Amino acid sequence: MITIDNVKKDYLDGDIVVHALRGVSMDILPGEFLSIAGPSGSGKTTLLNLIGCIDNIDGGEISIDGEALAGRGRKELVEIRRHKIGFVFQSFNLIPVLSAFENVAIVLEMLELPRAEIREKTLSLLHEVGLKGLEDRRPAQLSGGQQQRVAVARALVKDPLIVLADEPTANLDSGTGEALLKLMKRINQDRGTTFIFSTHDPMVMDYAGRLCRLHDGEIESDEKRSA
């Protein structure tokens, strides 16, 4: 599903060039539950941003479902991201003035789906992630764990091939974080959705079916795990 071939990414920090990724190569198969781990500055979030079509590749190539990303314009990357990739962020990134239902439905409204289909799919996902009865609550009326479940529903509602989760447990206590991981693992198994995490949380690593460790922009280890 995802081929990453000798990918490089540099950033400027003042006058200093920071080599965020130094020739990373790996293949990610459909249905994997993969954690990309490493300390701050290891390149894990940079790699997620490149897979997610948020940033441009400086060298090498990433292909998603047969579509190469290098050299594509912003509009093309937006279209790939819109149809194939869902995101879960550590800060939830919900729209505070919208209800849980509206935060999820807005994704389908942007795809211009029929109103009845939007309602049906949105309610179904909110119920699947354990938020039945909370559809009309705004983010401030929900706990952190509930807000992150809204974010998971939002990521999944368009049936993406891939869900990218950047430190999804960082703002949650351990019990709530584990409940969220169990939810995403179940969805991964039931739907076959590919999940890719960036994390430094040992619990997320423990749940991973595959753990790839980055250090200074290079792959340090890559192993299959029992989760």
pLDDT at 118 over 60: yes
Q: What is the pLDDT of residues 5-38, one digit of tens each?
A: 999 999 888 888 889 999 999 999 999 999 999 9
Q: With contact defined as beta carbons under 8 Å apart, do 198 and 166 qualify? A: yes
pTM of the predicted model as reported, rounded to 2 decimal places: 0.92
The values of phi and psi at residue 124, to 5°, are: -60, -45
pLDDT at 227 over 60: no
List the alpha helices (DSSP H) in the chain.
44-51, 74-84, 100-110, 115-128, 144-156, 174-191, 202-207
Integer Cα distance of 24 and 5 in angstroms: 7
pLDDT at 147 over 70: yes
Q: With contact defined as beta carbons under 8 Å apart, do 196 and 162 qualify? A: yes
The CATH superfamily label for domain 2-224 reads: P-loop containing nucleotide triphosphate hydrolases (3.40.50.300)
**pLDDT, position 89:** 86
CA 3, 91, 140, 143 torsion-angle sign: positive
CB atoms within 10 A of CB 224: 11
Every domain of the chain and the residues it spans: 2-224
Instruction: Give the H/E segment covering residue 17.
Output: strand 16-28
Integer Cα distance of 206 and 187 in angstroms: 17
Round to the nearest angstrom and report the end-to-end CA distance of the chain: 21
The values of phi and psi at residue 10, to 5°, are: -120, 150
